[in-house]
Amino acid sequence: MGRPSVHAGAGRPRSRRSLGGAGAPLPRHHAGRSREDGMMRRELPVFLVVGTLTVLVDLLVYRALMASGLAATAPAKAVGFLAGTVFAYCANRRWTFGHRAAAPGSAARFAVLYGATLAANVAVNAIALRILDAAGPAVAVSLAFVAATGVSATLNFIGMKTLVFSHARRTELP
């Protein structure tokens, strides 16, 4: 009573790093997973905040170009998306993935990723506008924007995590 639980026969508290008996180490495929899980738990919420701000820039530029008549739908969508790109690169590099300085090639990898996700964004937006045409322009434009943004945001997080910022040496923020 009142004593910490001990693993049977081991004489010491049971290790959280074991998956079974007698303090057996985690299998090799689990090594480092808790650190990776912790990084994901921090990175994903920060990515969502940065992404929300990026989407706001995208939306404001897109709507302004559409309302002013300065650009047709697809170019306005492309310019809005690109307007958020500079902000997204800097904010995600610094705050989401914790890199103080750009690693060699990270800007080029980011540009390739954003080029691909720009194409996906504009394509999903166009397809959704065609599908939602009967709903009226205000509803169609809003829903198409959400669909296009959801697809490109998912692709961007995966790409930034695995291709763009995985190669740079990570420096923890204070």
Residue with token string 């996700």:
117
Residue 131 lies inside a defined structural domain of this protein:
yes
pLDDT at 170: 46
Residue 21 lies inside a defined structural domain of this protein:
no
What is the rounded CA–CA span in Å between residue 80 and residue 11? 63
pLDDT at 153: 86
Contact predicate 86/53, CB 8 Å: no
Q: Cα 87–93–99 angle (5° rounding)?
A: 150
Residue 71 lies inside a defined structural domain of this protein:
yes
138 vs 101: which has the higher pLDDT: 138
Residue 3 lies inside a defined structural domain of this protein:
no
Tens digit of pLDDT for each residue in 69-86? Answer: 999 999 998 899 888 888
Residue 114 lies inside a defined structural domain of this protein:
yes
Residue 1 lies inside a defined structural domain of this protein:
no
Q: Calculate helix-pair angle for 106-131, 73-91, nearest 10 degrees.
A: 140
Percent of the chain whose predicted confidence (pLDDT) is above 90: 34
pLDDT at 9: 45
Domain count of the fold of the chain: 1
> Model-level pTM?
0.59
Does the pLDDT value for residue 139 go beyond 70? Answer: yes
pLDDT at 38: 61
161 vs 38: which has the higher pLDDT: 161
Can you give the residue range of the structural domain that contains 118?
A: 31-164
